Amino acid sequence: MDFGFYLPTKILFGRGKISEVGLHAKELGRRALIVTGKSSAKKTGNLEKLVRSLGENGIEWILFDKVKYNPFTTDIDEGGAFAKENKVDLVIGLGGGTAMDTAKGIAFAALNDGPMADYMEGKSGEKALPIILIPTTAGTGSEANNIAVMTNPYTMAKKGFRNPSIFARVSIVDPELMDSMPPKITASTGIDAFFHALESYISLRSNPLTESISLKAMELISESIKKAIYEPDKESRDKMALASTMAGISLGQAGVCALHAMEHPLSSYFNAHHGEGLAPLAEAFLNFVKPYVFEKLAKVAEVMKIDTANLSKEQAAEKTIDAIVGMIKDLGLPESISTFGVKKEDIQKLASNVKDYMAHNLSATPGNLTFEDILKIYEESM
């Protein structure tokens, strides 16, 4: 047994915790850049709660509300230039995964010269402005890792930029901020969190710590996600928020597999919502990996409370896949990639993008996935 586990982020969890953000911000800087979307944080009152706490603690702030879904590296460049011009010394990301990833990227771009695309392709850089992250959706878990997902507009490669400097110093997970999530967003972000947990669990880079965290996250999601969508209450929202952060921890430590790798070009080429893009690929992907991870899938059946009495582990694994496919249907998520406008003639382009740019995810996938396997999974997901 040989592994490492590094998580330097202080995570604060609980309802009303956003009121404490100013106390932590003043330990990190005096002039904050708030990174968020154009409208959601304002409409829900979450932005108001944040700036109130900052004001009470003497923190100046300036707003960058140009976050785009599926951000380009050039959007990060723009935000980094804005941060430099306004001489901020702290970045606060408020929103879903896109806002938090954009905040991480901007914090990095503010202290490193040259286009972000160069760093995505391997240029070294080891510093960033201090970061505070505040999720308002239960999905990406970005508050708990050092990954910022963005797309290079020149290659259309969507992938995660990893750097130790973009771990948040403090992450505040306040489920109260998620109470306003509409059902569709709850479903798509929730299934993303589930697959973060599942893929990090079966990842070839998993370890005993990440596996235990991943299993607990899947247990929480499987028992809470329908309630959070159709009859939301504090308990279901709290469990989804916790599960998302836990899955984000495992994702950061163990990585995800080919399912995420194959969704990314759906987002970059067809602007699919990430969670919705994962859903129709899941069954074919799980059927591919099943022979290599059936014992782990049988364990997933236990945490999902699936009756596997008198079944072999192979049969229990099959029941797990059936249950996951059933959950996707119950949540009203897409069941075919054609939903996003994908045609059969697009599959070669999608598979080539995965082969060329997603080696990190592919290398974590059990089964030694080939280009032909990738093509087949896409074809079976039409």
Let me know the angle formed at the C-alpha of 61 by 60 and 65, rounded to the nearest 5 degrees.
175
Residue where a domain stops, chosen among 178, 202, 234: 178
Same domain flag for 170 and 188: no
Residue where a domain stops, chosen among 163, 178, 193: 178
Same domain flag for 42 and 70: yes
Mean pLDDT of 54-64: 97
Query: pTM (2 decimals)?
Result: 0.96
Contact (Cβ atoms closer than 8 angstroms) between residue 298 and residue 317: yes
Range of the domain at 67: 10-178
The answer as to whether 1 is a domain residue is no
Domain of 290, CATH number, reads: 1.20.1090.10
Same domain flag for 174 and 187: no
Which pLDDT score is estimated for 42? Answer: 87
CA 262 to each of CA 84, 225, 373: distance values in angstroms, whole numbers, following the listed order? 35, 24, 11
Say which residue the tokens 């859903």 belong to.
279
Strand 157-162 and strand 147-152: the pairing is antiparallel
Same domain flag for 24 and 65: yes
Same domain flag for 46 and 194: no
Dihedral sign for Cα atoms in the order 341, 346, 347, 351: negative
Query: Which of 42-46, 119-123, 257-261 has the highest mean predicted lDDT (pLDDT)?
Result: 257-261
Domain count, the chain: 2
Q: Lowest-pLDDT range, 37-46, 73-82, 178-187, 209-218?
A: 37-46
Same domain flag for 113 and 132: yes
For residue 106, which of 18, 32, 11, 189 has the smallest C-alpha distance? 32
52 in helix, strand or coil?
helix
Same domain flag for 190 and 46: no
Same domain flag for 104 and 156: yes
* Per-residue pLDDT reduced to its tens digit, 320-359: 999 999 999 999 999 999 999 999 999 999 999 999 999 9
